[in-house]
Amino acid sequence: MSIEATPVTPAQIVAEVTKLKAEGYRLVTMSSVEIDADNMEILYHFDKDLVLKNLRLSLKKGGSIPSISGVLFTAFLIENEIKDQFGVSFEGLVLDYQGKLYNEVVQTTTTSPFCRMQVKSSGTVAKEVL
C-alpha cells in the first residue's frame, strides 16, 4: 500500500510547511522510511479538519535537510528523534539534543527532560526512570 504524498525537495520543504501552516494545517508527525541501503524518505503528515496531507522528501542516508522547527516549533522533538535513529542532519534545528534525546544511561539533571526511559542497545526499554 502506498501513501499519497506530494514530493518536495530540501530546498522546498520550509516554504511548503509555511504554506500549510498559513492554510490552517497542523503537523501530526513525521515518518522516516529506509528505501534501500543508500536512500531514505521523510514523510511529513499534516491535518486540517480531519483531512490528511502528506509531503514526501527523498534524501541519501546520513544526509542533511532544513529543519521545519523554525516554522513549527514542536517539530524539534521529531527531528531530534529522526536524527538519533537515522543520522539525518537537520540544519537550523531550534533545539538540538546532539544525539542525546534517547539516552542509554539513567537520567540525570544533564540528560533529556523529555525521555524518561532507560534504553538498552537492543532497543528494548529497561525501566522507567522517574
- Do 130 and 108 lie in one domain? The reply is yes
In a domain, 1, yes or no: no
- Do 48 and 112 lie in one domain? The reply is no
In a domain, 109, yes or no: yes
For residues 106 and 129, the answer to whether their CB atoms sit within 8 Å is: yes
Domains held by the chain: number: 2
Task: Judge if pTM exceeds 0.85.
Answer: no
Over residues 45-68, the mean pLDDT reads 96
- Do 15 and 50 lie in one domain? The reply is yes
Q: Whose CA is closest to 90, among 77, 100, 103?
A: 77
In a domain, 69, yes or no: yes
- Do 37 and 17 lie in one domain? The reply is yes
In a domain, 48, yes or no: yes
Over residues 8-14, the mean pLDDT reads 98
In tens, the pLDDT along 12-21 reads 999 999 999 9
- Do 120 and 58 lie in one domain? The reply is no
> Which residues constitute the domain of residue 23?
6-96
Name 112's Cβ contacts closer than 8 Å, sequence gap at least 6. Answer: 97, 100, 101, 102, 103
Please report the beta strands in 12-122, taking only residues with DSSP state E, as ranges in sequence order: 26-34, 39-48, 51-60, 64-66, 89-91, 117-119
- Do 33 and 80 lie in one domain? The reply is yes
pLDDT averaged over every residue in the chain:
84
